[in-house]
Amino acid sequence: MDVWGRPLRAAEWQEVILRAEAGEFDEPIWNVDRGDSREFDAIFVGGGAGGRFGSAYLRARGGRQLTIDRWPFLGGSCPHQACVPHHLFSEAARELDLARWLSGRLWFGEFEDKRASILELVELFRSGRNTAHSFMNWQSKEQLGMEYILNASATVLDEHTVEVAGERFHARNLVLATGARTEYPDIPGIDLPGVYDFASLVEELDYEPSRCVIIGGSKVAIEYGSFFQATGCPTTIVSRSPLMRTKSLHHVDEDLRQFVVDGMRKRGMTILEGAHPVEIVGNGRATGVVVRLADGTVETLPADFVFIGTGERANSAPFVDALGVEVDERGFIVVNSRMQTSVPGVYAIGDLIGAPMEMFKARKCGMTAARNIMGEPYEFDFSEYPDFLHSTYEVTWVGLSEAEARERYQNVVVIQMPPPGVDPGEIPLPCAEGSMLYAFTHPELTGFQKCVINADSRRIVGVHHVGYGAKDAFQYLDYLIRRGLTIDDMAEMNELFLNPEHFIQLCRLRAGQTQLTNL
């Protein structure tokens, strides 16, 4: 199917994508300007967030790109299996949580334990994701002027050549962007029906789970586990490390962690830390998980639904074979801060180069590769970034934890709500849009916040929040903290009462002090 020069409306794209997904046609979707004789500056192998944003940036800089994806749409796993369903499920978890705590009050009906269906929500996502897919194709073509080939696998032949559907394309550079997939633990029974990860969940779930065991303690485990539990499906997390202390999460403040993990337990989840999965047992399908608990005892946890949340592995093998690119011990492609691999002219971006597996990193990696390819030396260091996850709360943090700050600076003060040593039931803060109903009914559930300040320089070095509606602010706080934001700058800001994390007004209460003290 050739769509070059033929504008397709988003609704027409929906039709095309649905037919391709249903297997009604397996030919490539060609959106290539055959009349343009210019060499491609880059071929992006993979059209997910990194490939799409890199491609758009390179075009905007006047370059010519070609983006190839095996799926019939651009945007990659984000709108298909990862971030978008995660946000849908987390929003459902949050709504359900409110309904549970306000059961029988105001306009809320009596909360029933199994009040929501995981399957129904998965089906809702499955039937609606096509709109995001079609938007990606439409925008990339009509608004961004990208050239692409979809619904076709790319075979990399050498550092300048890629073959698609028997045709060879050449470029000055290659940008590898094929992402990662869940790394399944090597234990007996892992292949049984009833064992899912975030991707197979949305592709294959066809029954209503009634009891879940999650193997692993990653962000995915916390987020999906909170969702499963909120629907009324009793959920147990089996994690080797304490939750939120896994390697992939850094700068997590201990008080924030406690609030989140206690909150999950308050909502009925079982969290087994220091526990190891031994085997998934079943009779044609999973019926339970055998675990070795922290005290050494072995127990079988019944489950008709096992979810893997252990982390991810790179889809790098074809590039190692074809190009010999250097990879690390987990298969992630090694790049420098310009996204250049060990092979000249070959770049790698996004999840393929390792943690953090976050949208901002994928997109900015793509942009970084594009800028360098277009002759602009540009480096991207993603070792520091604002981070977040969802339990039934939105949990957000940036900068140093209190413990890290105390190691680094002599004189640290903290602004915290609820303050240490105070009964959280007496202080319904932080609260704002999204937590007002909790504040007036269950004040101890409204959330937690902490601002960590180097009292000598007056600089804010870390901020941490559990609640609702504050994530946006953290994107800007990150930027400002890197530029030396002080408590006095905060006191100059204009709070839109109630601003979700309350940092502006709380900082203003202390900014008048010459010698800062805790609040």
Q: In the complex, which residues of this chain contact ligand COM (CB under 6 A)? A: 49, 52-53, 75, 78-79, 84, 132, 136, 363
Minimum gap (Å) between residue 21 Cβ and ligand COM: 17
Minimum gap (Å) between residue 86 Cβ and ligand COM: 11
In the complex with ligand COM, the residue whose CB is nearer, 43 or 367, is 367
Structure tokens at 45: 């192998």
3-class DSSP assignment, residue 252: coil
Buried b (16+ CB within 10 A) or exposed e, 482-512: eeebbbebbbeeeeeebbbbbbbebbbebbe
What residue has token string 């540009």? 378
Side chain identity at residue 415, one-letter code: I
Minimum gap (Å) between residue 365 Cβ and ligand COM: 12
As a residue count, the chain comes to: 519
DSSP line for 354-369: -S---HHHHHHHHHHH
Is 198 marked active-site? Answer: no
- Of these residues, 66, 83, 400, 507, which one is catalytic? 83
Q: In angstroms, rounded to a whole number, what is the distance separating the alpha carbons of residues 174 and 160?
A: 6
In the complex with ligand COM, the residue whose CB is nearer, 87 or 245, is 87
In the complex with ligand COM, the residue whose CB is nearer, 132 or 278, is 132
Minimum gap (Å) between residue 16 Cβ and ligand COM: 18
Minimum gap (Å) between residue 80 Cβ and ligand COM: 8
In the complex with ligand COM, the residue whose CB is nearer, 44 or 101, is 44
Give the DSSP letter of residue 112.
Answer: P
Structure tokens at 193: 């029906």
- Of these residues, 86, 133, 464, 465, which one is catalytic? 133
Q: What is the dihedral of CA 499, 503, 508, 513, to 10 degrees?
A: 170
Q: In angstroms, rounded to a whole number, what is the distance separating the alpha carbons of residues 117 and 1?
A: 39
Handedness of CA 344, 312, 149, 65 (dihedral sign): negative
Is 319 marked active-site? Answer: no
In the complex with ligand COM, the residue whose CB is nearer, 127 or 143, is 143
Is 233 marked active-site? Answer: no
DSSP line for 429-468: -S--TTTHHHHHH-GGGS-EEEEEEETTTTEEEEEEEEES
In the complex with ligand COM, the residue whose CB is nearer, 44 or 393, is 44
Q: What is the dihedral of CA 336, 482, 376, 328, to 10 degrees?
A: 10
| Beta carbons within 8 Å of 304's beta carbon, 6+ residues apart | 194, 207, 209, 210, 211, 285, 286, 287
- Of these residues, 8, 58, 74, 88, which one is catalytic? 74
In the complex with ligand COM, the residue whose CB is nearer, 136 or 412, is 136
Minimum gap (Å) between residue 331 Cβ and ligand COM: 23
Minimum gap (Å) between residue 84 Cβ and ligand COM: 6
Is 74 marked active-site? Answer: yes
Buried b (16+ CB within 10 A) or exposed e, 424-440: beebbbbbbebbebbbe
Is 507 marked active-site? Answer: no
How many helical (H) and strand (E) elements, i.e. helices and strands, does the chain have? 15, 23
Q: Which residues are catalytic?
A: 74, 78, 83, 133, 497
